[in-house]
Amino acid sequence: MLLLLDCINAFFTDTVPPWSCSTFRPIPLNTCLSHAVHSSPLLQHSSGTLLGHGFSGAVHSFPAFGSHPALAVKTFASQNPGEDTDTYLSPILNEYNLASLLSHHPGIIKTYDLFTDGQHWHQSMEYAPFRLQDLVTGGKLSKDEVDCVFAEIFDVVNYMHGLGVAHLDLKMSNVMVGEDGRVRVIDFGSAVKFQVEYENDVVFVSGEHGALSFSAPEVLGGIPYDPKLADVWALGVMYVCTILGRCPWQQARTFDESYQRFSSRPEDLLELLPRHLRYNIGRMLKIDPAQRLTMDEIVQNGTLLQASKGCLNLERLAASRAPNEYE
């Protein structure tokens, strides 16, 4: 994995890592990459099933084959004619680098390889069979299970923030559930590194990231913002959407009437939530980011459940495994 990444970085940055990929430098990039790729035999064996697609490309699943576990493979959109290669590759490498950095947490999808077949770039990952969205909208989770799932998600996001990474696209469709019944956060396409190792300063971010209904007011306000606190807002909105079965507003801008109502009387929304959540969700949805709880405070706060080793009943999950909508 390291070899692969350093090959890529060395190829584009002209730096030579200590063990050196430089012996491969005159050779085309994908020849260099093929030294570290282990996903390709699986891909050749099967054509894959479409799992979903979004802004960055399409994701297919490949069933387990021989000693290879089942994989999910994201195929990135191809380079536009005339597009500069560095500009094209930069977000792909950012997504892969950050996803790999975070892969050690059990609540984050494991990312394996980044490779090209000459036409497209592909990123292979651990396959997670359940979409949290399906479990929630199908009414398959009890209230305790919902609290437990959110405790797991909070634990994951707190871990990310501890490593100086913000997700910036937290929403239902970016949370999957593994065979073990534990959450897997996916999709690091908008993620940013906001802190350099051994430094405390947070690098603020500009520009809109993520889905509109989960975006914090400061993200939509066009000013630089702390990406950690934007994640906290998105999680607050996600929790409310899950409990109420609908999201509270379309966008956190004053011309959105529902949001306008919330900004003048937040208690009207908070009163619809179970008592034990009102204080925390109220503090996660503070319009002024300086007043918002941090992930660390949320995880330390005893009123929310602490992350456990799997919240969901696996037998019930297996029985409710929905056929893939693309199959």
Ligand X SMILES: Nc1ncnc2c1ncn2[C@@H]1O[C@H](COP(=O)(O)OP(=O)(O)O)[C@@H](O)[C@H]1O
The residues of the shown chain that bind Mg ion, judged by CB under 5 A, are 54, 174, 187
**DSSP reduced 3-state for 238:** helix
52 binds, among ligand X, Mg ion, none (CB under 5 to 8 A by kind): ligand X
Question: In whole angstroms, how close is the CB of 251 to ligand X at the nearest point?
Answer: 19
**Backbone region of residue 181 per phi and psi (left: phi > 0; alpha: psi in -120 to 50; beta: other values):** left
59 binds, among ligand X, Mg ion, none (CB under 5 to 8 A by kind): ligand X
Question: Is 6 part of the annotated catalytic residue set?
Answer: no
Q: Where are the alpha helices (DSSP H) in the chain?
A: 2-13, 29-33, 40-45, 85-102, 132-137, 143-162, 217-220, 227-244, 257-264, 266-270, 275-284, 295-300, 314-319
| Of the residues 99, 149, 186, 285, which one makes contact with ligand X according to CB under 6 A | 186
Distance set, CA 31 to CA 34, 51, 218 (Å): 5, 29, 45
| Of the residues 17, 54, 63, 310, which one makes contact with ligand X according to CB under 6 A | 54
The H or E element spanning position 131 is: strand 130-131
- Using the contact rule CB under 6 A, the part of the chain among 23-31, 48-56, 223-231, 258-266 near ligand X is 48-56
Question: In whole angstroms, how close is the CB of 61 to ligand X at the nearest point?
Answer: 6
Question: In whole angstroms, how close is the CB of 221 to ligand X at the nearest point?
Answer: 24
Question: Interface mask (CB under 6 A) for ligand X, residues 87-126, using x and -?
Answer: ----------------------x---------------xx
21 or 312: CB nearest ligand X = 312
Could you tell me if 96 and 78 are in contact, meaning their C-beta atoms sit under 8 angstroms apart? Answer: no
Question: In whole angstroms, how close is the CB of 169 to ligand X at the nearest point?
Answer: 7
The angle formed by the CA atoms of residues 255, 219 and 185, to the nearest 5 degrees, is: 120
Closest residue (Cβ) to ligand X? Answer: 54
The interaxial angle of helices 275-284 and 227-244, nearest 10 deg, is: 150
Indicate which residue of 147, 169, 231, 256 is catalytic.
169
Token representation of residue 5: 């990444």
Neighbours of 174 (CB within 10 A): 25
| Of the residues 128, 148, 243, 284, which one makes contact with ligand X according to CB under 6 A | 128
204 binds, among ligand X, Mg ion, none (CB under 5 to 8 A by kind): none
For residues 159 and 244, give the distance between their C-alpha atoms in angstroms, rounded to a whole number.
Answer: 27
191 touches ligand X (CB under 6 A): no
**Strands across the sheet with 71-76, in order?**
49-53, 57-62, 71-76, 121-126, 111-116
54 or 266: CB nearest ligand X = 54
| Binding residues with ligand X: total (CB under 6 A) | 22
Footprint of ligand X on this chain (CB under 6 A)?
A: 51-57, 59, 72, 74, 109, 125-128, 131, 173-174, 176, 186-187, 189
Q: Mind telling me the catalytic residues? A: 169
